[in-house]
Amino acid sequence: MSYLRASLAALALVLSTGPATAEQVKSVFAGADPDAEMIDGRLWIYPTGPGDRLSAWSAPDGAKWVKSGDLIRQSDIRWIKDDREVKHFLWAPDMVRTATGYHLYYSVGPQDYTPSRLGVATCAGPAGPCTDSGKPLLTGGNGFEAIDPAVFVDAKSAKTYLYAGGSAGARLRVFELAPDMLSIAREVAVEQPPHFTEGAFMHERAGVYYLSYSSGKWNASSYQVHYATAASPVGPWTYRGIILQSDKRFKGPGHHSFIVDPKDGSWSIVYHRWEGKHGDGPYTDERRVAIQHISYNADGTIAPVRMTN
């Protein structure tokens, strides 16, 4: 049994053993916007945390999730108060490992009423610590919100792309990163995918590039995951439909990532959702991180995911 399958099997055993308590019907751990990475045979998840810092979770034994120390805190980002706002947040991290090392990308708010920004830090390893670059990587404005960074290394072209943007402006922008991973080389013009709101993610399988993203309101039942495919990481896109959407038990699934198990080539989606909620929202309290296997149809399309425990 592969590492990722062992992780899911162990989690299922924990959730199905004994009387159904409140904790047993919940998923992996509290969090949102999870970025999943397979690093040296271990699955790591990087979620949005309490707001003033970012941390990582991993499952060394394939069953018990362990939280690392802080990757980075607001106090480590010297430019964070340059917008003269009183309160700030860190969210939607994305850890990337390349030949140059580990780099963590993250959103820095507030959002909507002042231009949001993206930061990038160099990390000592998958559990940090991380050192901020000293300046914003990208700043929003003119109807564009610089949020939700997702970095994709294209093995075919050896280029590294940054996907960012969404929410109120609902605008996706794509950039090619410089070799140092700390700066932008150029912007790449792309068409806007249908139903795009935020949380873009790119993965490639069998020569097909999959652009997936969240659509709808983040704290309501309308939140979903849609996707499109292309022959390149920058389109043009062919819209394919919905992968995840609310059902009777789980609401507002979204802001996800995909992960492939190197041992058997199986794929999974890691996402957040609201649990124990009724109606269409708006929902409050905490979101939960969930992991589920996905399957590809013979034509390369992704079969819609039925959410489970």
- Looking from the CA of 207 toward its CB, the CA atoms found within 13 Å total 1
Confirm if 66 and 80 have CB atoms less than 8 A apart. no
State which amino acid sits at residue 116. Answer: S
In 3D space, the residue among 87, 91, 77, 89 whose CA is nearest the CA of residue 48 turns out to be 91
Q: Hey, is 176 helix, strand or coil? A: strand
| pLDDT value of position 167 | 87
| pLDDT value of position 189 | 97
Q: What is the CA radius of gyration of the chain?
A: 18
For the entire predicted model, the pTM comes to 0.91
Residue linked to tokens 């969090």: 31
Splitting the chain (309 residues) into consecutive groups of 10 residues, what average pLDDT does each group show? Answer: 45 32 54 95 92 91 83 96 92 96 96 84 97 97 93 96 92 97 98 97 98 98 98 98 97 97 94 96 95 96 94
| pLDDT value of position 62 | 66
In 3D space, the residue among 105, 95, 28, 97 whose CA is nearest the CA of residue 64 turns out to be 28
Residues 15, 120: Cα–Cα separation, whole Å? 36
Residues 236, 39: Cα–Cα separation, whole Å? 31
Number of residues that make up the chain:
309
Q: Hey, is 132 helix, strand or coil? A: strand
| pLDDT value of position 11 | 39
Confirm if 41 and 3 have CB atoms less than 8 A apart. yes
- Work out the angle at residue 287's Cα, subtended by the Cα atoms of residues 284 and 291, and round it to the nearest 5 degrees: 160
State which amino acid sits at residue 52. Answer: D
Confirm if 129 and 123 have CB atoms less than 8 A apart. yes
State which amino acid sits at residue 266. Answer: S
Neighbouring residues of 164: CB distance < 8 A, sequence distance ≥ 6: 118, 138, 146, 147, 148, 149, 150, 172, 173, 174, 175, 200
Confirm if 95 and 112 have CB atoms less than 8 A apart. no
| pLDDT value of position 58 | 93
Q: Is 216 left (phi over 0), alpha (psi -120 to 50) or beta?
A: left
| pLDDT value of position 115 | 80
- Looking from the CA of 43 toward its CB, the CA atoms found within 13 Å total 29
Residues 54, 71: Cα–Cα separation, whole Å? 6
Compute the Cα dihedral for 33, 37, 43, 46 and give only its sign: negative
**What tokens were used for 18?**
């004994």
| pLDDT value of position 20 | 29
| pLDDT value of position 12 | 38
At residue 95, φ and ψ (nearest 5 deg) are -95, 135
Which domains are seen in the chain, by residue range? 3-293 (2.115.10.20)
**Can you say how many angstroms the Cα of residue 93 is from the centroid of all Cα atoms in its chain?**
7
| pLDDT value of position 226 | 98
